[in-house]
Structure 1
Amino acid sequence: MDPKPTIDAMRIAAQTLLSGDTRDQLHALHAARDAIDAREAVLLAKLDESKDFELDGASTLNAWVRNQLRMNAGQATTLVKNVAALRDLPLLAEAAMTGQVSSAHVRVFVYGLAHVGLEPMRQFEDVFVQVAKDCEPGELFEAVKHLKDKVHPEDLDAAWERGMDKEDFAVDAVPDGFHTNGFLNTVTGSKLKMVMDSISAPRDKDDTRSGAQRRVQGLDDLLTAILANGLPSDKGVRPHMSVFVDADTLQAAADHVQAKTENPHLIPEPMPSVEPATLAGHGAIGPNLLMYFLCVSDFTAFLMKQHGGARQAEILNAGTERYQPTLLQRRAVIARQLGVCATPGCNHTHLEIHHVIWWSLGGPTDVNLLIGLCVRCHHLLHRGLLNITGNAVDGFNFTNRNHHPIRRRRTHYRQAA
């Protein structure tokens, strides 16, 4: 292939670097790089055909490019594959050699030749080259894939059947959380995507959460609602998460977290050697997470008798002690904050009710000592990264882990009627 178009692209780039503005320079450099990639692909294919890489002691082309060009072998293989498309599609070759399309665009044509066929790709070559000039590679791929679906509709059903054969979904406990992994067939996957798109959409123009934060929070909200209302009960007991903790562990965790919260600059005493709290289905959890669960969950105390050193125990008595706010108290707290998280600068509206004086440390379920926090801020608090003191009458004070004050949002607090 004639190297002149590549030389011209490099010459234009050099001239633009000396006289053009910043935008022109970027355009020229980008075009030159694409033209060089196309020329490099041609030369690599020529080297592969001649086997001249053996002259430098390399047994394969990939070995030669790793040693001589310090190029990733995968990159070299991709460039060599691109040459087939450049040879078979002359309009594409011209656009690539002049830097009008990138090597990523050429890879889409390689996909088209393999999965659509040479004749259909030649038939629509002018259309696809224009798409490549105007759009990024993803849009070109969608256009080529659309042609594939029209030319080979039987492949769509074959793909669906393959998906049915390999579908699987697993949620596995790992030390720092849960790992989800699997593959869903077309129908089930579409249902999941529809749900996730719905629950993870930005709330409004001021929703600054990342996509990952919106998806995780949306899934958490959905699962919370399902566990609370959407699953059938078994003899009056709905499915729920369970945390099991000994009284000694609970007291030690409360003392440990309180000491760390009150004196963040000091290294707290290590937790005593007690049985760790256990989250059913996951395993042992630490004191901070235990305190968080205690803050948002119902609590049932059991009097138990251990049988020797075994963990199996006999329940002698069971009792309950209400610490969850009533529905009226929850509504009062949310109304007092105008439905927004109390933390300064946070505008999230899905709130959990927190005892400012922790219930595990003797705090009462008093509406003036309750505060509404979004899930993220509530987690920050129980990790010791956010501290809250005061009450709804005099105002709440927010400090970071070093007890430096965070701007108080006074206007969101008013005495509940």
Structure 2
Amino acid sequence: MNPGVTVQALRTAAHSVGSRDHRSTLVAIQTAQDALDAAKAHHMAELERTADYELDGASTVTAWARAHLRLDARQTRSLINADTTMRELPTLGEAAVAGQVRLDHVKLFTFGLKHIGAKVVTDAEPWLLAVATTHEPVQLRRVVQALRDAVYPDALDEEWIKGMSKEDLKISAVPEGWHLSGFLKTETGAKLKAVLDSLSIPVVANDDRTAAERRVAGLDRLLSSVLEAGLPTSKGIRPQLSVIVGVETLHEAMTAEPGTAQPVGEPAELAGFGPIGPQLLSYLACTGDITPILTTGDDIEQAQILNVGDTIRLATPAQRKAVIARQHGHCAAPGCTHTHLEIHHTTWWSRGGRTDLDGLIGICTSCHTLVHRGLLVIEALGQGKFDLTTRDGRPIDLAQRRT
């Protein structure tokens, strides 16, 4: 390792920090950071080789790094592996020390040495390095993967077959929501990615949600659509969410002012999840169908069902289309440009509200949640016009509200 190159990169970055040319400053800072990362990998490997970590009472290099650098074992081992790769591929090492490539690039060379072979990667080093010095790591990953596929074409089908045996999907209830984990075989994962990519495309220029947030919203939109009409029936009933709730608890959630409902009796229970609070109950009741079931007792598992009433449909498909068309496909809340809308009764049906167009408004999931938390108030003015204010009566400020 040539420390002079790293020192020069640091000097250049330090000199440019005071510059008004932000472009050159950022380039200098990134170069220095990448050079320092390469130096860190080198010294971490040297620390392991010399066992000098014992001078600080640490039993291993990972224990020392955890205590002094706040690095976990995986990060420490990754640095050491990167140094090994840079020693095996000296030209790559020189580029890393000079800050011309990132450690993320080096990790892909490490992958290549392990899964493609030292001879192939060594021979390919010049043109692989050309990709690394001019492209982000994700592009180098594609090139390295393509090289592996070319060298070992049978590995593609082998991996596909192995993937079938690894298929797994778990969804577990946790206090804050649901934890999703698993592994999908190639074609199943591709289908899921294609659907989520389609549903999570930003629809407006100022959509400030992260890609992950858009994917979750897209998945929610897909599931809502499927639950409404997209799945075959099971004994005449389409798959659905079920909330078991006593009449008093439901009445309190539906009649109290938004955000003020207090627990009454046993809390509502979302089937497969567990107890839920009154605000979420109010939201689910507003967006779903309600089927009254008369029983002989409080314990739903032991009670005898005496009568099942008709399901109350909150808005017909035709009404939904009319509301969305009236709002030109966008959320009715000022400043909100989301296009995935839920139909809300401005006067809740539990309070005598009617399911007609003058009382129905389309708002996005986020704004609908605000309504049931009492933070957004909507009043129907008639003829398809509405007044939206904060809970203390202030008009929504377009300059400050961003949903």
Report the TM range for the smaller structure's normalisation: 0.7 to 0.9
* Aligned-partner residue type, residue 177 of structure 2: G
The 3 A distance-change label for structure 1 pair 360 and 30 is same
Shift of 1:167: 1.0
1:400 match? 390
Say if 2:330 is the partner of 1:340: yes
Shift of 1:20: 8.8
- What residue ranges of structure 2 are gaps of 5+ in the alignment? 399-403
* Aligned-partner residue type, residue 113 of structure 1: L
Percent identity, aligned pairs only, is 47
* Matched-pair contact (CA < 8 Å) for 1:353–1:370: yes
The 3 A distance-change label for structure 1 pair 8 and 158 is same
In 2, distance between residues paired with 1:138 and 1:250? 51
Say if 2:385 is the partner of 1:385: no
Shift of 1:120: 0.7
2:352 match? 362
User: What SS is found at the alignment partner of 2:329?
Assistant: coil
* Matched-pair contact (CA < 8 Å) for 2:357–2:384: no
1:415 match? none
User: What SS is found at the alignment partner of 1:124?
Assistant: helix
User: What SS is found at the alignment partner of 1:406?
Assistant: coil
Q: Between Structure 1 and Structure 2, how many residues are aligned? A: 398
* Matched-pair contact (CA < 8 Å) for 2:263–2:277: no
1:353-388 per-position Cα deviation (integer Å, ceiling 9, x unaligned): 222111112223343222222232222211222111
User: What SS is found at the alignment partner of 1:306?
Assistant: coil
1:172 match? 172
1:412 match? none
Q: Which moved more, 1:324-333 or 1:142-151?
A: 324-333
2:27 match? 27
Q: Which moved more, 1:13-22 or 1:107-116?
A: 13-22
In 2, distance between residues paired with 1:19 and 1:240? 60
User: What SS is found at the alignment partner of 1:178?
Assistant: strand
In 1, distance between residues paired with 2:69 and 2:261? 56
The 3 A distance-change label for structure 1 pair 68 and 166 is closer
Shift of 1:396: 1.9
The 3 A distance-change label for structure 1 pair 102 and 193 is closer
Say if 2:279 is the partner of 1:288: yes
The 3 A distance-change label for structure 1 pair 362 and 66 is closer
The 3 A distance-change label for structure 1 pair 134 and 54 is same
* Aligned-partner residue type, residue 369 of structure 2: H
What is the 5 A alignment of 1:71-150?
A: 74-150=74-150
Larger radius of gyration: 1
Shift of 1:128: 1.4
Taking structure 2 as the reference length, what is the TM-score of the superposition? 0.85
Shift of 1:124: 1.0
* Aligned-partner residue type, residue 280 of structure 1: A
1:20-59 per-position Cα deviation (integer Å, ceiling 9, x unaligned): 9544344334333433443444444344434455455554
The 3 A distance-change label for structure 1 pair 49 and 400 is same
User: RMSD over aligned Cα, in angstroms?
Assistant: 3.2
* Matched-pair contact (CA < 8 Å) for 2:252–2:262: no
Taking structure 1 as the reference length, what is the TM-score of the superposition? 0.82
The 3 A distance-change label for structure 1 pair 352 and 26 is closer
298, 321, 324: which one pairs with 2:314? Answer: 324
1:300 match? 291
User: What SS is found at the alignment partner of 1:313?
Assistant: coil
The 3 A distance-change label for structure 1 pair 394 and 188 is closer
* Matched-pair contact (CA < 8 Å) for 2:341–2:362: yes
* Matched-pair contact (CA < 8 Å) for 2:388–2:395: yes
* Aligned-partner residue type, residue 288 of structure 1: Q
1:75-109 per-position Cα deviation (integer Å, ceiling 9, x unaligned): 44333322322222222122223332233322222
